[in-house]
Amino acid sequence: MAKQPTTRGYDEAVEWLRGHGFEILDAPGTKNRVFVKKYTCSAAIEKTGDDDVKIFAKPGYLIGGEISRLTDKGYQKFLKTTKTEVPASADHLKALHDFSEELREALGGTSLYNESLGTVSDNYVYDRVKGRDLPEAQRPQPAWEAKPVTGRKPA
């Protein structure tokens, strides 16, 4: 039988995080929202309703003080911020994976099998699926379906 996760309220989750080595920073200009940091990774959590807690900003590796998003381009994973994009190393991925697992435990979330195997990307951008998420009318036409250009003389 599956073990039920222990759900925690906001204050209890913040105390658990403090007790497990997380740095807690109050979010400027907001109430009941904090940034949590550990392993050079960060996320933001907030209090909702009846002392419930939810993730406000998804976990990411810190680059230049900004929480990055993990993008998988098929051949390499990248950490992307609004200012830069750097290749993700094994150390980056390990830190992000450990941080996400501990944060999930603190909040009483469910640990899923596929997520426990490794780091899950925020975005997948492979050449073969580029534009697939667009409506069909807006998708670029594949080269094999393109009409030949007329009026050109052979070389």
pLDDT, tens digit, 9 for 90 and up, residues 32-67: 888 889 998 999 888 887 778 888 888 899 998 898
Distance CA 67, CA 103 (A): 15
Of 133, 121, 124, 125, nearest to 58 (Cα)? 121
Distance CA 138, CA 8 (A): 45
- Number of Cβ within a 10 Å radius of residue 17: 23
Domain boundaries, the chain: 10-127
Distance CA 86, CA 64 (A): 12
pLDDT of residue 155: 60
Of residues 34 and 149, more confidently modeled? 34
**What's the pTM value of the predicted model, to 2 decimals?**
0.70
Interval 142-146 mean pLDDT: 76
pLDDT, tens digit, 9 for 90 and up, residues 105-117: 888 777 776 666 6
